[in-house]
Structure 1
Amino acid sequence: MQITSNSFRDGGRLPDACAFAVASPAGRVRPGPNRNPHIAWSDPPVGTRSFVLTMYCPDAPHRWHDANRHGRTLSPDMPRVPFHHWILIDLSPRLREIKEGRHSAGITNRGKAGPSAPEAGARHGMNDFTILFLEDRARIGDYYGYDGPCPPWNDSIFHRYIFTIHALDIPRLAVVGPINSTSTLLAMTGHVLGQASMVGGYSLNPALLGTN
């Protein structure tokens, strides 16, 4: 099974077009275009009855207290946790690509509606901006679908974003409760026939810009 993209190369930098936040000459950051990247896949295993597409960053800080604060730097040795940016389930076994911008073409304050997705029968899960903004009265909401990279601008590491297409042996995922990373991964257990991944990187740290 293979996964490719016309939006970025495997191991390369994700384009600003796909980011939730981009570097700004006038300040640290500004809102980004937040377009989902193009993702394509091929050669699924025999018996595939649906696909699940996920995107997550394994490099999110365990605590955000010092994130985006002047005079502070997030150490490369600090604990890191996964942050899920995109969960798309129940994709047709005949589907082979998601076009750039089809699932997101901007930032929706308080989150995109869900779980219905553009593809017939497909469902979006809530990404982890839902959790990140729980205490932000201006942005709290259920963030369904794709929302792109927004790493702290004072983080000392280049964040990785892992896109994975999973081939399943069932036509519809039996998710219990809200559709999010936890419920999706649990429902997938024992049903994955194969998968393929690719990685893009992103940073808003001025010291790291242009290093990848």
Structure 2
Amino acid sequence: MDLDRPEAPDPYSLLPRVPTFTLTSEDVTEGAEVPAACTADGGSTSPHLTWSGFPESTQGFVVSCFDPDAPTPAGYWHWTVANLPASTTSLPAGAGSPDGALLPDGAVQTRNDAGTPGYTGAAPPPGDRAHRYVFAVHALDVPTLDVDAGTTPTTVAFQALFHTVARATLTGTFAL
């Protein structure tokens, strides 16, 4: 593994600037290592997330987890959930299970870059530097996007870009 490759930029710093709001977790702390349960070897349990301070005009949300440090030109999508109602202000740990049973009605969970539905845990290549896992909540000016379970995470992100009125991020790290 080439540990001398440059670090990827913060993926959201490359997008148009929007207001921010607060994203916290009982499981993930900004800049700290993600807990074992949130890793592929630990069970791929999505962390608890809660958010507040988003614009009153918010009509819906998209939640995602992205690893910009994956050794690919496009990073690695670990989780994408679209069409979360504006009344949703938190997701419990495990909401990213393949069956999506803990998600609100109407939410759409896409496949991750492993090709499976739901959240796939942190799993950087052994010996690589610590990877960043950026959990993001996008407040949207529409209640839903035109997506379904077969839509790619990149397509969800592209559609959300044009409707994002604010964004919150929380970044954990992990290395093997």
Contact 2:108 2:148 survives alignment (8 Å): no
Aligned to 2:76: 83
Percent identity, aligned pairs only, is 33
Q: Partner of 1:182: helix, strand, or coil?
A: helix
- Structure 1 residues 17 and 144: alpha-carbon distance in aligned structure 2, compared to 1, 3 A threshold: same
**Alignment-mate amino acid for residue 51 of structure 1:** F
TM-score after normalising by structure 1:
0.69
Aligned 8 A contact 1:55 1:161 in 2 = yes
How far apart, in 2, do the equivalents of 1:184 and 1:192 lie?
12
What is the Cα deviation at residue 178 of structure 1? 2.9
> How far apart in 2 are the matches of 1:162 and 1:13?
12
Give 1:117 deviation, angstroms: 6.9
Q: How many angstroms apart in 2 are the aligned matches of 1:185 and 1:49?
A: 17
Are 1:182 and 2:154 an aligned pair? yes
Q: Is 1:12 the equivalent of 2:12?
A: no
Q: 2:123 aligned with 1:150, yes or no?
A: yes
Kindly tell me: are residues 181 and 118 of structure 1, through their superposed partners in 2, closer, same or farther at Cα, counting changes over 3 Å? same
State the partner residue of 2:59: 49
| SS of corresponding position for 2:154 | helix
Shift of 1:7: 0.3
Q: Which moved more, 1:179-188 or 1:12-21?
A: 179-188
The superposition leaves residues 55-96 of structure 1 with CA deviations (integer Å, 9 ceiling, x where unpaired) of 01001112xxxxxxxxxxxxxxxxx54100000001110111
Counterpart Cα distance in 2 of 1:192 and 1:177: 21
In structure 2, what is the equivalent of residue 199 of structure 1? 171
- CA distance change for structure 1 residues 177 and 38 in 2, over 3 Å: closer, same or farther? closer
Match of 1:97 in 2: 90
TM (norm. structure 2) is 0.82
Work out which of the two has the higher radius of gyration on C-alpha atoms and give 1 or 2: 1
What pairs with 1:109-128 in structure 2 (closer than 5 Å)?
112=98, 118-128=103-113
